[in-house]
Structure 1
Amino acid sequence: MLLIYDIPDDRVRHRVSERCKDYGLSRIQYSAFAGDLDRNRREELMLRLKKTLGKKEGVIRLQPVCSRDLTLAKEIAVEGA
């Protein structure tokens, strides 16, 4: 699964990223995490993130990705150029 978010408030954005790490997700971009969670853990995480966001402005999207598509994923990364 892929979890992405757009949250303007630095404090809330940081708390959301910490929650994602708590659930074992890996950061793939500044506001994007990926990982494998069963249905119950996904629901639990989304409830916690909803509470974390509260009434602050922002969008959090959890996008399922099938196992087959995950195996087809490619990445290009250049470090410290």
Structure 2
Amino acid sequence: MYYTLVIYDIPDDNLRNKVSDACKRFGLEALQRSAYGGYISSGIRKELISVLERLMKRNEGNVKIFVICKYDVKRLIDIGEPVFEKKGKEFLV
């Protein structure tokens, strides 16, 4: 299983919330305000991509999806503290 990283830049609040909800629904966790990540199967990732493509069709904004091997995930360099806090399973921004 590979790590899937989804980052997005979407100006419309409603669409941005739908993309966020889709990421959560498919098992990804919030990393930053517009970044989600997690280990999901290739089948689940394909479904997520399909949903995100439908959401973004004819809408302004951009979604990038990175598929990262475990070796490279371990090499992550994390600088600073998150600007949101986790409360239960929800994040406050």
Aligning the two structures, in what range does the TM-score lie when normalised by the shorter sequence? Answer: 0.7 to 0.9
Residue correspondences, number: 80
Higher helix share: 1
Note the 1:1-81 alignment, pairs <5 A: 1-75=4-78, 76-77=80-81
One-letter amino acid of the structure 2 residue matched with residue 29 of structure 1:
Q
Greater RCO, 1 or 2 (C-alpha within 8 Å, sep 6+): 1
Alpha carbon RMSD of aligned pairs, Å?
1.7
Structure 2 CA distance for aligned equivalents of residues 34 and 57 of structure 1: 22
Unmatched runs of 5 consecutive residues or more in structure 2: 85-93
Q: Which runs of 4+ in 1 moved over 3 A?
A: none
Unmatched runs of 5 consecutive residues or more in structure 1: none
Matched-pair identity in %? 34
SS of match in other structure, 1:8? coil
TM-score, with length taken from structure 2: 0.77
TM-score, with length taken from structure 1: 0.87
Structure 1 CA distance for aligned equivalents of residues 82 and 8 of structure 2: 24
Cα separation, partners in 2 of 1:72 and 1:51, compared to 1, 3 Å: same
Please, which moves more after superposition, 48-57 or 3-12?
A: 48-57
